[in-house]
Amino acid sequence: MMKLGMFLEGSGHHVAAWRDPDVDPNGRQTLAHYLDIARTAECGKFDLLFMADTNATFGADDVDSWTRTTQASRLEPITLLGAIAAVTERIGLVATATTTYFEPFHVARFFASLDQISGGRAGWNLVTSLAVAEAYNFGRETHPHHGDRYVRAREFAKVVLGLWDSWEDGAVIADKQNGVYFDRSKLHFLNHKGKHFAVRGPLTVHRSPQGHPVIVQAGQSDDGRDLAGETAEVTFTVQQELEAGRAFYADIKRRAAAHGRPPGAIKVMPGVMTVIGRTRTEAAEKYERLQALLSPELAIKDLSSQFGFDLSTYPLDGPVPDPRTDLEQRGRVKVMVDLARRENLTIRQLYKRVYGQRGHRVVIGTATEVADALELWFRGGAADGFNLMPLTFPRGLEDIVDLLIPELQRRGLFRKEYEGKTLRENLGLPIPENRWVVERTQKDAG
Ligand SMILES: Cc1cc2nc3c(=O)[nH]c(=O)nc-3n(C[C@H](O)[C@H](O)[C@H](O)COP(=O)(O)O)c2cc1C
């Protein structure tokens, strides 16, 4: 079965979504808006809700540009997903947290808590941070280099995983008679000392019903894919085209195998912006309505910040120049440049293809046509599922749940009922064994 994520994003995934006549532009700051989305997504039997995050505004770096987008303000995802946990029962809750600016103890504790209060539905999207400006909010003058960020990310993940094993299952005995709350032999100190972190532990949250939160990752570079192969259980990606999608899929499974992990241990879920109508014309009109609101000036600024130099001096209808080679977001920019080269796009054509949907693949059509496009990738060895990105909220999500999901179910590609209560059960991922239990079992056997 296909795995489906619902990527939450304020008013919708198109950069102009907040200007759509059907959208309440203030909704994105209210709890009611997200609860409504979460309930609808759970009715649609989505595996998970996903929230991206940055700790600074990113994109073009001038405040005048920000005033024309919704980018400068967003709710903090772990807090929001905590509230959503209270009104949902089955859907997974995946939030983003950066390894570049946070401390592993914080991240381990936040996500372990979300996992407990949701009954085992939490996931951590491990990122090394896209927004260079995050540095200025954490006492730094510069954003660490790409390679350095991944060195820290590796150690960070190791510490978080170690902390999540602090408590064995069944550690709490709550023996009222003798006044013993937990079994000392089932609590473990980590005592980690590495290049970036010194963390004694133990974590102050018990082991959750799914062992520990699911680890999600979305790096596209070599370092990013390596880290995914080693630790991630879900990986989001930005491929636009089937062959590139297949190559990415095979590469991730190969890297996982190099770490002794079976192919099913990591689910590859490309992001897809869906635009669904009852007819193809209706769908195309929805998309074009928002495309017409794109500002060429903002689009060029955004593209320039991604390419690493000012593109406004280049002819809009001329060829796309090569980006800088020392870029921070090299993986995502490569996907864009490959698209431009493959289809011989001009700068204007490129921004029209990528800016509105923030670099993700877009599929426009009837539910049947969108289901065909997803099925092709799913059966074609390019995806285990998809992270769906509605054009607008809530209308675009309602189109998915009312039209697309029944079509996928009819084809036997998507569940009609949740398989289990935890995110791992629904994704078909095993419950990770606690390292201390494994060690003890091996000792006993040996
Ligand atoms: C689908 C997707 C979602 C992402 N979400 C975030 C995010 O919310 N916050 C962030 O800082 N980076 C995000 N990233 C960035 C990556 O996780 C990664 O840190 C960045 O792309 C640099 O690594 P790379 O060069 O390996 O791609 C996302 C990337 C992708 C492809």
pLDDT, position 308: 85
Beta bridge mates, 218: none
- Given a contact cutoff of 8 angstroms between Cβ atoms, the answer to whether 220 and 334 are in contact is yes
Pick the CATH number of 3-276+363-445 from 3.40.50.11540, 3.40.50.1820, 3.40.190.10, 3.20.20.30: 3.20.20.30
Give the 3-state secondary structure of residue 14: coil
Beta bridge mates, 98: 127
Dist CA 1 CA 420 (whole Å): 14
Q: Which atom of ligand 1 sits closest to the CA of residue 217? A: 17
Dist CA 133 CA 58 (whole Å): 7
User: What average pLDDT does the chain have?
Assistant: 95
**How remote is the CA of residue 231 from the centroid of ligand 1, in Å?**
16
In this predicted structure, the answer to whether residue 329 has a pLDDT above a threshold of 80 is no
Give the 3-state secondary structure of residue 124: strand
**How remote is the CA of residue 28 from the centroid of ligand 1, in Å?**
22
pLDDT, position 426: 98
Per residue in 200-212, pLDDT tens? 999 999 999 999 9
Q: Which atom of ligand 1 sits closest to the CA of residue 130? A: 11
Choose one of 125, 127, 143 to mutate for the ligand 1 pocket test, by most ligand atoms within 8 angstroms of C-beta.
Answer: 127
pLDDT, position 334: 84
Other beta carbons within 10 angstroms of residue 6's beta carbon come to 27
**How remote is the CA of residue 31 from the centroid of ligand 1, in Å?**
25
Based on the number of CB atoms within 10 Å of its own CB, is 294 exposed (0-12), middle (13-18) or buried (19 or more)?
A: middle
Per residue in 51-89, pLDDT tens? 999 999 876 668 888 888 898 899 999 999 999 999 999
Min mean pLDDT across 45-54, 85-94, 327-336 is at 327-336
Per residue in 340-384, pLDDT tens? 999 999 999 999 999 998 888 999 999 999 999 999 999 999 999
Q: Which atom of ligand 1 sits closest to the CA of residue 237? A: 31
Report phi then psi at 429, rounded to 5: -105, 145
Ramachandran assignment for 12, one of left (phi > 0), alpha (psi -120 to 50 degrees), beta (any other)? left
- Residue that is written with structure tokens 């407990």 in the block: 116
**How remote is the CA of residue 409 from the centroid of ligand 1, in Å?**
31
Long-range contacts of 170-174 (CB under 8 A, 24+ apart): 171/206, 171/207, 172/206
Choose one of 220, 333, 335 to mutate for the ligand 1 pocket test, by most ligand atoms within 8 angstroms of C-beta.
Answer: 220
Q: Which atom of ligand 1 sits closest to the CA of residue 330? A: 25
Report phi then psi at 268, rounded to 5: -95, 120
Residue nearest to atom 30 of ligand 1 (CA): 218
Pocket, ligand 1, Cβ cutoff 6 A: 52-54, 96, 98, 127-130, 218-221, 223-224, 236-238, 271, 329-332
**How remote is the CA of residue 99 from the centroid of ligand 1, in Å?**
12
Q: Indicate the domain borders of the chain.
A: 3-276+363-445, 295-355
Q: Which atom of ligand 1 sits closest to the CA of residue 224? A: 26
Pairing of strands 172-175, 180-182: antiparallel
